[in-house]
Amino acid sequence: MKSNIQMKNSYQKLEDNFGISRAVQLKMINDLHTEMSSGLIGQKSSLRMMPSFAEPPKGNETGKYLSLDFGGTNLRIAATDLMGNGNVVEICAEKKVIDKNVQAGSKENLFDFIAESLSDFIVKNDMNNSDDKLLGFTFSFPFEQLGLTSGKLLSWTKGFSVGGVVGEDVVKLLNESIAKKGIKNIKIVSLVNDTVGALAYGRYKNSGCDMSVILGTGTNAAYIEDVSKIKKYALGENLVGKMMVNTEWGNFSKLPRTAYDKKLDEATENSGLNMMEKMVSAKYVAELVKIIFSDFVDRNIFSVKIDKQEQAASLFAAENISEVVGDNSPELKFVEKELKSLGMNGTNLKDRILFKKICDDVMERSSQIIATMIVGVVLWMDPKFDKSHVVAIDGTLYEKASGYKKSLMKNVDNLLGNNAGKIALILSKDGSGMGAAITGATRGGVSDAKISRKLSAI
Ligand code: BGC
């Protein structure tokens, strides 16, 4: 068992490794701009900077739509009525957990699961015999958009490993399963990444919104770009106006990583990729805490040992970190409970304080990184902060983790200094799905025909 001083030193070392100084933040922003710039012109970059081929909505789009949001954890289907004037009414909605068999099964299994869920939703809500049902499809993975209603998956993230989908058009695969299932009159009118959906929804409701962030199982951001700056598909030539761009920032690689981050990455399906995502998002923060915890246990820094079997059986996840971070009881009762679930019984208050600090540090670093990235993207759009910006954020980590919203705002404002207050962060719950419907309704701007002509000319 280690002395108090050794415990303190180990903790101090962790804090030093996980802390992100202002100098590091400024360098990150610089590197972010270099990567954004290379990505937009199609040069090597850790940021894919994917054009969505959709212009930002105006807020006056109307009509009834279905939206199908395939995320990292859930599939959410909804029927929405776009009323114009920035109003969206959700008529009915349903959420299903995407289970492990679907995440790692065959492509037929995956798209049949989506089609079947859609079919059940339609039957349940008595829409079977209605005319054309316009559907916006949100697909929360990196894909290369080939038009507003077509896109090829580039790689899986967030632990998915379904065979045979990379390189395929996901709308085509979905349409095949819809046809197999015999669902009538479905017309897919848009394919969007969840960030683009969240941005479209944020913008529909608030004309000052020019960026979106997803902070859930995975992380990513989209923003509004001048079409003239998007050179990767020679799109910029004659086109003017604005387009929503999916940065795929989860893959940003210019970050100081610790030995713990490296260990976590080695154990993932997509090792070497999405380094930033693995430092911040809900799928990975709990893994990081467990890796640090095990290291501290192995080095006897806690006053007690653990039962390895109990630890292996633990379902410790982001929600549990949230409980630890939010525990302000004098004896840290919730922390004690979480430590028990990790196989550590008989802890004293110092052990609990140490574990809480580990969780606090992991979450604080997540919030600092995201704050830096948000400020970086806003500075890219508006280098002198000539105006205020609204960022629409969707995802469980932002919405539910104890203290996260507050900490993110604080970190954004700290970084902004004199410009503090010029970035507003708003929760945009389930915006990613509704945004697909809105994007389908927008249609104007860059048409599919123009895009395919440009793309085939590359
Ligand atoms: C994917 C993105 C997605 C993000 C949030 C990442 O793993 O690469 O496409 O937007 O998760 O869901």
Q: Find the length of the chain.
A: 458
Mutational test site, ligand 1, from 70, 143, 165, 220, max ligand atoms within 8 Å of CB = 220
- The token duo for 121 is 């939703």
Q: Kindly report the pTM of this predicted structure.
A: 0.94
194 Cβ below 6 A of ligand 1: yes
Model pLDDT, residue 11: 79
| Whether 376 contacts 28, CB under 8 Å | yes
> Which protein residue's CA is at the shortest distance from atom 2 of ligand 1?
141
Instruction: Indicate if ligand 1 lies below 6 Å from the C-beta of 140.
Output: yes
The residue nearest atom 9 of ligand 1, judged by CA position, is 141
Q: How far apart are CA 279 and CA 252, in angstroms?
A: 11
142 in contact with ligand 1, CB cutoff 6 A: yes
Q: Do strands 133-139 and 209-215 pair parallel, antiparallel, or not at all (unpaired)? A: unpaired
Which atom of ligand 1 is nearest the CA belonging to 251?
A: 8
- For residues 3-21, one letter each, b for 16 or more C-beta atoms within 10 angstroms of the residue's C-beta and e for the rest, the string is eeeebeebbeebeebbebe
| Tens digits of residue pLDDT in 353-410 | 999 999 999 999 999 999 999 999 999 999 999 999 999 999 999 999 999 999 999 9
- Is the beta carbon of 52 within 6 A of some atom in ligand 1? no
Q: Is the CB of 432 under 6 A from ligand 1?
A: no
Nearest CA to ligand 1 atom 1: 141
Indicate whether residue 395 lines ligand 1 (CB < 6 A). no
CB of 214 sitting under 6 A from ligand 1: yes
| Residue 30 scores a pLDDT above 90 | yes
Give distance in angstroms: CA of 131 to centre of ligand 1.
Answer: 33
Residue 372 CB–ligand 1 contact under 6 Å: no
Q: pLDDT tens across 148-194, in order?
A: 899 999 999 999 999 999 999 999 999 999 999 999 889 999 999 99
Counting ligand 1 atoms within 8 A of each CB, the residue from 158, 249, 399 with the most, and so the one to mutate, is 158
User: In this structure, which residue's CA is closest to atom 11 in ligand 1?
Assistant: 218
Q: Alpha helices, DSSP H only, in 206-348?
A: 259-266, 275-280, 282-298, 308-312, 318-325, 333-341
**What is the whole-number distance in angstroms between the Cα of residue 246 and the centre of ligand 1?**
10
> Residue 306: pLDDT above 80?
yes
Nearest atom in ligand 1 to the alpha carbon of residue 218 is 11
Q: How far is the CA of 251 from the centre of ligand 1 (A)?
A: 9
* CA 218–ligand 1 middle distance (angstroms): 5
HSE-CB for 134 with a 13 A CA cutoff: 19
CATH topology of domain 54-206+431-453: Nucleotidyltransferase; domain 5 (3.30.420)
In angstroms, the CA 80 to CA 65 distance is 5
How high is the pLDDT of residue 234?
A: 65
What value does the mean pLDDT of the chain take?
A: 92
CA dist 297 and 304 (Å) reads: 8
Structural domain boundaries in the chain: 54-206+431-453
Q: Could you tell me the two tokens for 435?
A: 């945004």
Helix axes 259-266 and 282-298, enclosed angle (nearest 10) = 120
Q: Which of 63-72, 151-160, 425-434, 437-446 has the lowest mean pLDDT?
A: 437-446
Q: Would you state the torsion angle of the CA atoms of residues 139, 141, 147, 150, taken in this order, to the nearest 10 degrees?
A: -60
Strand partners, 409: none
Distance 224 CA to ligand 1 centre (A): 18
Residue written as tokens 């929760």? Answer: 427
Q: How many CB atoms lie within 10 A of CB 263?
A: 15
Q: pLDDT per residue over 224-251, tens digit each?
A: 999 889 888 765 455 678 999 999 999 9
- Interval between CA 216 and ligand 1 midpoint (Å): 9
* pLDDT over 50 at 446, yes or no: no
